[in-house]
Amino acid sequence: MLRVQGINQYYGSSHTLRDVSLSIADGACTVVLGRNGVGKTTLLKCLIGLLPIRNGEISLGGADITRAPAHRRALAGLGYVPQGRDIFSHLSVEENLEVGAYAGERSVRRDGRQFSFDEVYKIFPVLKTMRARIAGNLSGGQQQQLAIGRALLTNPSVLILDEPTEGIQPSIVKEIEAVIQSLKGSLSILLVEQFFDFAQAVADDYVVLVRGQVVSAGRGDEMERNNVRALISV
């Protein structure tokens, strides 16, 4: 569904991504792991078009999107939940979701699949309960659920999540894990994560970055055998 081939990215003279290649199978979850500062968020920003790459190729559903602007990538089916969530804190929960739905009306998936408000409220019941509440007054975990729900309403074929467990209470982490498991099959997921146990629980495939390079990759059930925990530990 999403394929990245040999991309390189620079901040000035700093070579931040070095010949990075990975792929996300249709309906599967690929997890990108690594310590702080290895280029994980930079990689995601390159994929969604917020940062340019020097060379390499990015394709979505077989179509080359390497030079496409960010809004075209969103319309083509990339949904993005950034680190820190970036909700509209002054809007209500429902108004935040309406922003996603507005974008989703212009996004057409190849399979015709469209997420509805009812589906998002079923996935995250707390959002329905709090739909009139100002989003900035939600807890961190509730804001994360809102950010994911908003992204789902853009009708992505690939959902990109940047450290969704960061600063979240354990009970919500388990809920997000269950949601990711339930979404696999209906869309593809690319997840950046530092929490090994969470990553292992949801990963069909994994990639480890060290200093902007892929140093290990394989199936999710190979993570322990391939000593991934040691590669990402501080």
Query: What is the pTM for the complete model shown?
Result: 0.91
Q: Spell out, as residue ranges, where the chain has pLDDT lower than 70.
A: 106-113, 234
Cα–Cα–Cα angle for 221, 223, 227, nearest 5°? 150
Give the separation between CA 15 and CA 211, rounded to whole angstroms: 9
Q: In this predicted structure, what is the pLDDT of residue 52?
A: 94
Give the separation between CA 202 and CA 19, rounded to whole angstroms: 26
Q: In this predicted structure, what is the pLDDT of residue 106?
A: 65
Give the separation between CA 214 and CA 114, rounded to whole angstroms: 34
Q: In this predicted structure, what is the pLDDT of residue 156?
A: 93
Q: In this predicted structure, what is the pLDDT of residue 16?
A: 95
Q: What are the beta bridge partners of residue 80?
A: 160
Q: What's the topology of domain 2-232?
A: Rossmann fold (3.40.50)
Alpha helices in 29-114 (DSSP H): 40-48, 70-76, 93-104
